[in-house]
Each structure stands twice: as C-alpha cells, then as structure tokens.
Structure 1
C-alpha cells in the first residue's frame, strides 16, 4: 500500500504527538540537540509554536497521514536574499521510521521550497550518530557539504554534525 502524506502548517495541538514520539532523551537530542529539556512537555511545545508565530522567516509544518493524523514535523527557515531554506527539527513518528515516511515528508518539504517559495538551495544538519536520517536525506538528493566545527556532547559521546545541502 502506497502512503500519501500531506503537509500543512503546524498547530499547537500537534505538540501532543511530538511529546509521545520522544520516549527517551537520546532520541530527543538527535532531534533538537539542547533546544528542549527532557522530558518534552506540552508547555515547551506551546512556547516553541508561539516563537514560530513571531518569526517572520521561520515556520513549521506537520505531515499528516491519509486519515489526517500527524506523523511527522519539521521547521523551515528562509533566507530569501540567498534563495535558501534551512530545514530543522525534522522528526517522524517512530512507528513509521524505516517505512519511507521520512523520505516522503522531506521530499514534500523540498518540493514546497522549490516550487512554492522559489528556493534554489536547501540545507540541514545531521548527526553522525543518526545514519538512518543521513540515508533518508541522501535518498531525497541532499549531499554532505562539510563537518561542522562544533560537535554536540551527549553524555559521554561527542556527536559530529554534518551540513547537508540540496541544490536545484
């Protein structure tokens, strides 16, 4: 059965789904570094969505399944002068990881940025400890550009951060 995801602007009510997806701190850190505290709470998500509302060049999207249930989420931050968008806070419901849902969601993000916003370049960051995400982004058409100078220390592990880019 072929899945067909849809994108829509995020809503504060979507936060309850994200809270359920992060059952352990490591998984949450792969998503947000130190952008949130663990465990993720509804209050943190409301504050996140409120902040997005105030930013003129950033917004969030929610990926919906055929029934309209949130199954993924990401943020876009545009630099219109550079015709560029940075994707961040990319996550898919853990029950759907490895099924192509991430590929489909990120492909829709690229399509939106290119066709609707007229963007020529998209970037994102990924940890070396998240090879599944890296493969997903490569399958969409992103390629590694550089290893970022700053790593991220999680407990006793130093995670390297790679910048990946998609260019039209």
Structure 2
C-alpha cells in the first residue's frame, strides 16, 4: 500500500529533521552546494528560516507521512509571476525512506502546487551528476535535462557537473 504524503509550509521546528537527515558532508554539499557549512547547525537553519520568511519569492515546504511526521523537504524560489517560472531546490528525503518513491511523489506534488496554485508554466531544478538516484527521481516526476555544466562545483578533490532540469515550457 502506498504511503500517504502531505505537503505543508516549512516550520522552524522541521529543522530538527534536516539535522538528522543531512549528517554527511557530501550529502550536505549535494543538497545545498555551499549555502550551509558542515556540520549543519540550528543557527544555520535559523538563518535559512529567516531568509524564507523575508523573501516574497521563496517558500519552504515539508512533506509529511500519514502520521504527520516530516519525511522530506524542499523549497520553491525565484518565483517569477510575469514569466510564470519557479525553481525547486534544497530537495531532501529522510535517508531511511529513500528508494520507496517518496522523492518522486514529493517532487510531483511540488510541480502540481507550482502549476495549479502559483500558475507556473516552467519549473526548474538542478542536480549534480554525482547524484544519479536524484536525477532518476526527477526524470520520473517529468523533468528533462535542459543544460549541463561540466565541473560546475568543486567538492573536496572532486569536480561535480550540474544538470539544469525543466518541467513544462
């Protein structure tokens, strides 16, 4: 039986889950590039929450399971009402629940929200080439590669390429 998945606005207390999910330096880099420093801390998440509150073109979301427990998170940013576009980012699913289709469902729900409630026609996201599982998840949700930047981000002794993926126009 498929798990129930709900979306609600991100709340500051959801950060306790992010702290549990993003405990690895590499995973944190894939999640946010250099937006946060490892190890992730309450102070960094407080700043992130304040950024979301103060940015009229960005919204944070939390995905909840059937019991109302957070299982994933993402944000919509760069909302452009005139050009009808929005960017998804900071997408993460609880590590212990990966591989069950929750990421695809959460991203599909984000697309639906963007299209139906915000009136967006173009929805974008980025994914590093070293994260093929996430890329497959986004493809299953209907995203297609639009652009690839080789060696876009330096992580330790690696160079990560970055795909810009798009849903819609």
TM-score band (shorter)? over 0.9
Alignment match, 1:97 = 98
1:21-47, Cα deviation, whole Å (9 max, x unpaired) = 012100110100111010001111111
Alignment match, 2:14 = 14
1:44-102, Cα deviation, whole Å (9 max, x unpaired) = 11110111000011010000000000110001011111100100100000011111010
RMSD, matched Cα: 1.0
1:127-159, Cα deviation, whole Å (9 max, x unpaired) = 000000000000010000011366110011100
How many pairs align?
A: 168
SS at match of 1:148: strand
Distance in 2, matches of 1:24 and 1:52, equals 24
1:30 aligns with 2:33: no
Alignment match, 1:81 = 82
Runs of at least 5 residues in structure 2 that lack an aligned partner in the other structure: none
Alignment match, 2:43 = 43
1:109 aligns with 2:93: no
Runs of at least 5 residues in structure 1 that lack an aligned partner in the other structure: none
Alignment match, 1:129 = 130
Q: TM-score, normalised by structure 2?
A: 0.97
